[in-house]
Structure 1
Amino acid sequence: MNKKDFKRVQDRLGGVSRRDFMKLCSTLAATMALSTTVAPKIANAITSPTRPPVIWIHGSECTGCSMSLLRSEHPTLETLIFDLISLDFHETLSAGAGHQAEEALHKSVSENAGKFILVIEGAIPLANEGIFCRIAGHNFVDVVKDIGEQAGAVIAIGSCATWGGVAAMDPNPTGCVGVDEVLPDTQVIALPGCPPNPYNLLSTIIHYLTFKKMPALDDENRPKFAYGRLIHEHCERRPHFDNGRFARKFGDEGHRQGYCLYYLGCKGPVTHANCSTSQFGDAGSGCWPVGIGHPCFGCAEKGVGFNVPQFTTSPVIHTTPVAGHAPITVERGEGASSGSSALMAGIAGAAIGAGAVFTAKLGGKEDKNENKEA
């Protein structure tokens, strides 16, 4: 990024220093699990006057994903939509209405066909040809097909847009589905959550602007940097889980002590998301459900949130066996002795066995001393 480009950005961002701007770009790189050496590329991408615009449309939803975006502070909303990404259209934030808003939408679509990033918030009703969600005289399903086929990239934000979410709860009379079912020939990037963290969206868009492609995705088309691990793996209460300290009822001694919420129905062991590390609302540490004492609902996982009863326990995929250190002595230039190898095998077997016993214990009867430290 040359000095002329940065001067233009500096004026838009209210005199931000080059150092602070590059720190922001480095933070974005870290959020996407990339080396900070790509920060200059990110800086060039988000300062380019020719970057593709973002068009945001709404279906059957509560606008919670947009509300989450409104509460982002680093960067603030106006910086985000005017300087980091070019938000050409957003029905909730639009100053215009009616025919004026529709004209702005279709003008941006036609002028940027094949280039713009389409963000879809909300599920898509299919029952009765989609009459349960109509916008400007058109069924939403037809709007998605028309605009989606002209987009350069499509992002489904929130669980409703990803797989139906709360709008598709049984018995689902309106036939709500996720975007991928309406655009089967298009790769739809999924950012589930109710709501998802706004920085997951920002990082995904910035990655696309920088590298002209989406970040690495899992088999559900979710960005791995945000959904590559289970919440249970990096939960702040995980040490209590590993040591068998659990809350059994809201307000009991274990709950007041901040123990693991597994027996209160926490869905962290089966939910892929980065809630515990990114958290919400720029409100500081602990601003996510488990951080304030409520079990994870599993809103970001298809088939869990809005499907599995809140207070039922979930299966545990990853457990931690009892830790131990093998007293191995290896002479210089030689491999491990047969004795030390046997010792390692014994410890490994004990660890695996301990893990299996611990897993089995989760489904066993309540221990009267459950909430007492050993």
Structure 2
Amino acid sequence: MSLRQILQSYDVSRRDFMKYCTALSATLALPPAFAPQIAEALENEDNRPPVIWMEFQSCSGDSESILRSGRPKVGDLILDVLSVDYMEVIMAASGHLAEEAKEKTMEQYKGQYLLIIEGAIPVDDDGVYCCIAGDSAVNHLKKAAEGAAAVIAVGNCACFGGIPAGYPNPTGAKGVQKIISGKPIINLSGCPANSDNITALIVHYLVFGSLPAVDRHLRPKFAYGKRIHDNCERRGHFDAGQFVEKWGDEGHRNGWCLYKMGCKGPETFHNCPTLRFNDGLSWPVMAGHGCVGCAEPGFIDTMAPFYRRLPSVPGFGVESTATKLGLKILGVSAAVFGVHGMISFFRNKDIVQQVESEHLDNEDKKEN
């Protein structure tokens, strides 16, 4: 079944599909003119790279994220545009049949398939803490990565070790980039990763045949190029010095800044405020809970306690300091022009009013 037929079966019109492609181009920081190219790449049945999706120490949250999205039915879109040959959460096969399917893809499409990893990889005690089909996760990862065209780590656990790697890290859990080298690796961090970012990344690969530009943590810049704080809808309240002081207080009810309640937005890079979750409906801060920094390395340790404010993120405090700021400006002006000059100005304010009046009269004549 072609992608167009699939979309039609879900009552997704061509117009809606093109809107979706335009939204994807915006997510990728591309001009809207790229929408037709994205649509063509998605509809090209010969453009289906095989995918092996392996899951290790995780809660399956990233799998659920991609499967439960719907713009339009992203789970089905991805599973049909791509050839997902191995993914524990959705595949009907199990046991040796599932392993045979993976081995076949690795042999037949060596150097062509995309390897998507979900969950951390334990390495202590020869990796005994996560074993699949009689072998350790670390061995499965190394073997699958050897023939992959690129490795995509989804979720904080696969990227940086996540919760399993939290202190004292009893299993020696690590992220993919700490184990695999010599292969293109890209991290889609978050807990879970946003399904639209997963889709956008794959679309970039389909359209350009390569992975997008990344930051120092190997995260795509289109999704992690700005701090959450920069685009947060509560940023204006931060600048105005309006903070929630207690859960349920008037500020909380009015959508004021959650910085004092422990929000980690000023130190977290992600596009949560613009992309949001639940098909763009909302995201944690919009729902009234501070950001916990789940897109950052080691967040479970470095960002905890989640309800304690960051040590030093100064706010401007426009409303709370407006009077003091005005007095300071007047003080500077007096120092520059001299007290007598300032007094002279205010004494001759009738001259200023006369000039303003003449200017307005001239403007009225022009209009008439």
Identify if the C-alpha distance between structure 1 residues 255 and 13 changes in structure 2 by more than 3 Å, giving closer, same or farther.
closer
Select the structure of larger CA radius of gyration.
2
Contact 2:258 2:290 in 1 (8 A): yes
Q: Which residue of 2 aligns with 1:46?
A: 42
Q: Deviation per CA, 1:223-269, whole angstroms, max 9, x where unpaired?
A: 11110000000111111101000011212222222211101111000
Q: Which residue of 1 aligns with 2:243?
A: 246
User: Between the two proteins, what is the percent identity of the paired residues?
Assistant: 47
Q: Which residue of 1 aligns with 2:6?
A: 12
Shift of the alpha carbon at 1:78? 4.8
- Taking the TM superposition and a 5 Å limit, the aligned residue runs for 1:310-349 are 310-315=306-311
Letter in 1 for 2:29: A
Letter in 2 for 1:21: F
SS for the counterpart of 1:292 is coil
Letter in 2 for 1:196: A
Whether 1:34 and 2:30 are equivalent positions in the alignment is yes
Identify if the C-alpha distance between structure 1 residues 147 and 318 changes in structure 2 by more than 3 Å, giving closer, same or farther.
farther
Q: Which residue of 1 aligns with 2:95?
A: 98
TM-score normalised by length of structure 2 = 0.81
Q: Distance in 2 between matches of 1:261 and 1:20?
A: 36
Q: Tell which deviates more after alignment, 311-320 or 26-35.
A: 311-320
Whether 1:123 and 2:120 are equivalent positions in the alignment is yes
Q: Deviation per CA, 1:283-312, whole angstroms, max 9, x where unpaired?
A: 62xx21111111111111114344332122
Letter in 2 for 1:250: W
What 5-or-longer segments of structure 2 have no aligned partner? Answer: 320-331, 337-368
Q: Which residue of 2 aligns with 1:290?
A: 285
Q: Distance in 1 between matches of 2:314 and 2:148?
A: 39
Give the paired residue count: 318
SS for the counterpart of 2:8 is coil
Q: Which residue of 2 aligns with 1:82?
A: 79
Identify if the C-alpha distance between structure 1 residues 151 and 105 changes in structure 2 by more than 3 Å, giving closer, same or farther.
same
Contact 1:269 1:315 in 2 (8 A): no
Contact 2:7 2:13 in 1 (8 A): no
Letter in 2 for 1:124: I
Whether 1:158 and 2:155 are equivalent positions in the alignment is yes
Q: Distance in 2 between matches of 1:135 and 1:202?
A: 27
Q: Deviation per CA, 1:58-103, whole angstroms, max 9, x where unpaired?
A: 0101111111112201121553233333322211111111111111
SS for the counterpart of 1:232 is helix
What 5-or-longer segments of structure 1 have no aligned partner? Answer: 1-6, 324-341, 347-374
Contact 2:228 2:273 in 1 (8 A): yes
- Taking the TM superposition and a 5 Å limit, the aligned residue runs for 1:1-374 are 8-14=2-8, 16-50=12-46, 51-282=48-279, 284=281, 287-307=282-302, 308-315=304-311
Contact 2:120 2:157 in 1 (8 A): yes
Contact 1:60 1:123 in 2 (8 A): yes
Contact 2:3 2:42 in 1 (8 A): no
